Structure formats: structure tokens, C-alpha cells
Amino acid sequence: MGELQQHPADTPSVGVPFAQRPIIILGAGIIGCATAKQLLLNGFPVILVAEFLPGDQDIRYASAWAGAAWHPAGGISPEWRYLQAITHRHLLRMAHEEPESGVCIVDALEYLEQPPSANSSVWGKAVASKWRDLLPSEYPPNFSCGWSYETLVTDPTHHMPYLGKKITALGGQFIQKRVDSLDQLYHLFPESSVFINASGHGSKTLIDVQDDQCFPERGQNVFYRTDNCRTMYFRNGREYTYVIPRPMSGGVVLGGVKQADDLSPDPDMAIAQDEIARAHRLAPEVVPESPADDALSYIVGIRPSRKGGFRLDAEKLGSRVVLSAYGFGGGGYAFSYGVADALVKMVEEAERENVIL
């Protein structure tokens, strides 16, 4: 997106004092809401505009459906690792101090099919507590090594409503509305000069964004109700299989699958059966071969994925600054609060330039 031509209608009003000029966030998923919370805690007024709000359920609203585990991603840059590390710090604090946030500390077991590559998830040992290499007797025979550590899981059925309440209590405002463009927002909020695009997959269709790198990536999980829900299992290698505990909902999430450009809202029972079978092979002590039907339910959501990875950058468009934070695919929760803190710094910088000319 290049520099936009500035004309009088595009110029933010100078009449509204800095302290009352809201930062406008498009999108109320985990990225928009975590950012709103952190901005409000730093003294910025915030308005979120979104078609789906915390508590809503639609397959296009990814944040309602995530696992959502904190797992140190392999193959990412040092900058991205740091965003995950900051997220870990926030989640840990919430797990200790705000049980209503739905964040819990659990054990993690990660089994690797191949010896770790140079850029593997082993960097997580500097962040997660109790990191330990497993002895060969502690991982299944068909794996080459493994780790155990303590990690954090976020139950979105608690965390999104928690964020909704927290944002409102801090003075943030939600407006439920679908927009066709960022330009529509500029006209709705002529007094604002900083806009954050946290619209997830919406960035593919917003008229003045139309990011062709964005693509929908369907996820489908099985929720299995069980009391045995304090350990995460992660198969790291050819097969993409996990068992993510959700202690506050009394069960585990079994996955996973990634289906590019598939928007089907209905659970595919062949996929569900395959996920149960894979989860059973990975964690037979938690997932039986044939769980009772009434202990099972199904989760379907669209990950807002982006070729080349997510955007986290600032653009000056005329007199406004637009911060883009979308395309988090399967990692939006693991990056969330690190991204939120990075956006707070970017907003500070943009507003400083607006205020101190």
C-alpha cells in the first residue's frame, strides 16, 4: 500500500485533545482484544469495531476456537521468538493472578521424530520452566528424542469473555459492525489518527487492503471430556498431532488438521476419527481407542493464515498511521500479548509524532 493522497476530509480533527482521541482497532479477536487491553492499561482510550465480538461463535472468528496452547514455534526469527516469550510472561501472570482468564499451567511432553534442527523449538528452554530432555525410556520407541516442560494453555471459552469484560471495565468500547474498508473507519472516526488493522482473515477482502497473501486455513478439533487434562502432548515431525488440555472445561482438545482454502463449517467425521486415532497413539494414557460418543464434541474454525507469515508493521497514510497486525494462522494465541506490547510501543511512537510536532 503506498502513500495516500491527503485531502481535507482525510485530515484528523485537531480539535480533540490527545487524551480523548481514541485509538481505533478493527477486529476483536485475540489480537485486537489483547492489544486493546494493553493500550488501555497504558492510558490510551480505545474503540474496537468488529463484526464478531468476544462470546460470539462463527467459524470465521478464529479466536473462539483455538486450542490454545503456548508452544515455542520452530523455524521463526529471533524477533518472533521474543514476541512469544513476552506472551508467555503475560500468560504466566494471568495463570497465577487471574484464574477467570482461563489460562492454566500444565505439563508438556513433546516428542520429535527427527533430531532437532538448528532452528527448532528448543529455544523455548530459555522461556518455559522445568525444561528437561527426556530419556529414551520416556518417549515412544518410534521417536528420536523428546522434551518435557511446563507450558500455558488458554481456554478461549473463558479467555475471550474475560477480555470482553476487562476491556469494558478499563473504559474500552466495542462497536459491533462490519466494514468494507479501512477508509470507512477513517470517516467514522475523523478525530482519530492511529488505526490498528487486526481483522485477521478480513484483510483479504477489505477494499483498501486486499492482501493476496492471506488465505483461510480450516482447522477441526475433537473435544474429549475427561478429568485427565493436565498434560499437553505434541508430536513434532511428519505428523501434526496434539493433545491440548483444557482444565477449566474438563477435557482435552485433539488435533490437528490444516486445510487450505476450505471453508466448510460442518465437522468431517473421517477427520475426527483420524484425529482420535492419532491422539490415542500419541497419548494412550489420556485418549482411549474408542472414546464414548457422549464424551465427544467437535470444533471447526478458520485460521487466518498468510503466506510469508503475519504482518506487524506501521504505515503513514496521509495524516494517519495504520498499524497492521494480522495473518497469525495457527499461532495467534502464542504471539498475542507480545504483539499487543509491540503495538503499544508503535502507537506511542505514532502518537508522539502527532502530538509533539
The single residue among 148, 192, 193, 199 that binds ligand FAD, judged by CB under 6 A, is: 199
Long-range contacts of 202-205 (CB under 8 A, 24+ apart): 202/26, 202/27, 202/51, 202/326, 203/304, 203/311, 203/324, 203/326, 203/327
User: Is 333 one of the annotated binding-site residues?
Assistant: no
How many binding residues for ligand FAD (CB under 6 A)?
Answer: 41
Which residues, 6 or more positions from 276, have their beta carbon under 8 angstroms from its beta carbon? 222, 224, 254, 287, 291, 296
Of 332, 341, 342, 350, which lies in the binding site for ligand FAD, with binding defined by CB under 6 A? 332
**Among 24, 94, 179, 350, which residue interacts with ligand FAD (rule: CB under 6 A)?**
179
Q: 330 among the known binding-site residues? A: yes
- DSSP annotation of 52: S
Q: Considering only residues 38, 63, 84, 193, which one is a binding residue for ligand FAD as defined by CB under 6 A?
A: 63
Binding mask 245-274 for ligand FAD (x = CB under 6 A): ------------------------------
Who contacts 67 (Cβ-Cβ below 8 Å, separation ≥6)?
153, 221, 242, 244, 253, 255, 256, 333
- 174 counts as binding ligand FAD under rule CB under 6 A: no
Contact 220, 297 (CB under 8 A): no
Instruction: Look at residue 316 and give its three-state secondary structure.
Output: strand
Work out whether 178 is an interface residue with ligand FAD (CB under 6 A). Answer: yes
> Which residue type, as a one-letter code, is found at position 17?
P
Establish if 52 lies at the interface with ligand FAD (CB under 6 A). yes
Closest to ligand FAD by CB, 244 vs 283, is 244
54 contributes a contact to ligand FAD by CB under 6 A: no
Give the one residue of 23, 24, 30, 214 binding ligand FAD; rule: CB under 6 A.
30
159: contact with ligand FAD by CB under 6 A: no
Does 124 bind ligand FAD (CB under 6 A)? Our answer is no
Residue 162 near ligand FAD by CB under 6 A: no
What is the helix (H) or strand (E) element at residue 218, kind and residue range? Answer: strand 214-225
Q: Which of 152, 206, 276, 317 binds ligand FAD (CB under 6 A)?
A: 206
Looking at 39-47, 48-56, 163-171, 271-279, which segment touches ligand FAD (CB under 6 A)?
A: 48-56
Q: Does 214 bind ligand FAD (CB under 6 A)?
A: no
321 is in an annotated binding site: no
Amino acid at the residue 32: G
Told to check if 219 binds ligand FAD by CB under 6 A, we report: yes
Annotate 104-164 with DSSP letters as a single string: EEEEEEEEESS---TTSGGGGGGTSTT-EEPPGGGS-TT-SEEEEEEEEEE-HHHHHHHHH
Question: Which residues are CB-neighbours of 183 under 8 A, at least 6 positions away?
Answer: 207, 208
Contact 158, 248 (CB under 8 A): yes
Based on the shown chain and the rule CB under 6 A, indicate whether residue 66 belongs to the binding site for ligand FAD: yes
Q: Which uninterrupted H or E stretch holds 259?
A: strand 259-260
Q: Is residue 179 marked as binding?
A: yes
Instruction: Report the binding-site residues for FAD.
Output: 179
User: In the complex, which residues of this chain contact ligand FAD (CB under 6 A)?
Assistant: 26-32, 50-52, 61-63, 65-69, 178-179, 198-202, 206, 219, 221, 244, 299, 301, 303-304, 326, 328-334
